[in-house]
Amino acid sequence: MIKGSCCCGAVQFEISEKPSMMGMCHCSRCRKLGAGALAFVRSDTFKITTGIDNISTFKAVPPYKYNRCFCLVCGTALGEVLSGLESFPINANCIDSEIGLENKFHEFVSEKPSWFQIGDNAKQFNEHPHE
């Protein structure tokens, strides 16, 4: 079982299998939220074990398609942990154990600040990758 949590531990979760992939989002929203490293999990493998009442949601507006959830106690960006989708992103930095994934893509590179240099060979997209 892979465990994860917010900074203060008020929100905790478990993932029963390794996330399917990891990507980096460079949109202004994710950068400001502190949640640019995203691990994608399937809903049937993800479970909030503690603190569901401590989660608040910031609703997405186009061109963004994912809402972002936060711990109401410490403010940690959690990703889309309250998603109803079959697969959704969570903040990879909230995973408390090693998951052995490498970055597969960079999205919203069109919004990346000029001072940040991408240092890997992962695919790059100007917006969300096309499915």
> Residue 58, Cβ neighbours under 10 Å: how many?
12
The DSSP 8-state label assigned to residue 111 in this structure reads G
pLDDT digits (tens, 9 = 90+) for 32-65: 777 688 999 999 999 999 999 999 999 888 877 7
- Contact status, residue 122 vs residue 24, Cβ threshold 8 Å: yes
Task: Enter the pTM of the model.
Answer: 0.86
What's the rounded Cα separation, in Å, for the pair 96 and 100?
12
Q: Read off the pLDDT of each residue in 10-29 and give the average, rounded to a whole number.
A: 91
Q: Which two tokens stand for residue 5?
A: 């949590």
> Residue 7, Cβ neighbours under 10 Å: how many?
14
- Nearest residue to 14 (alpha-carbon basis) of 97, 75, 70: 97
The amino acid at residue 80 is: E
Stated as kind and residue range, the H or E segment containing 29 is: helix 28-33
Length of the chain in terms of residues written: 131
pLDDT digits (tens, 9 = 90+) for 68-104: 899 999 999 999 999 888 999 999 999 998 888 888 8
- Contact status, residue 108 vs residue 35, Cβ threshold 8 Å: no
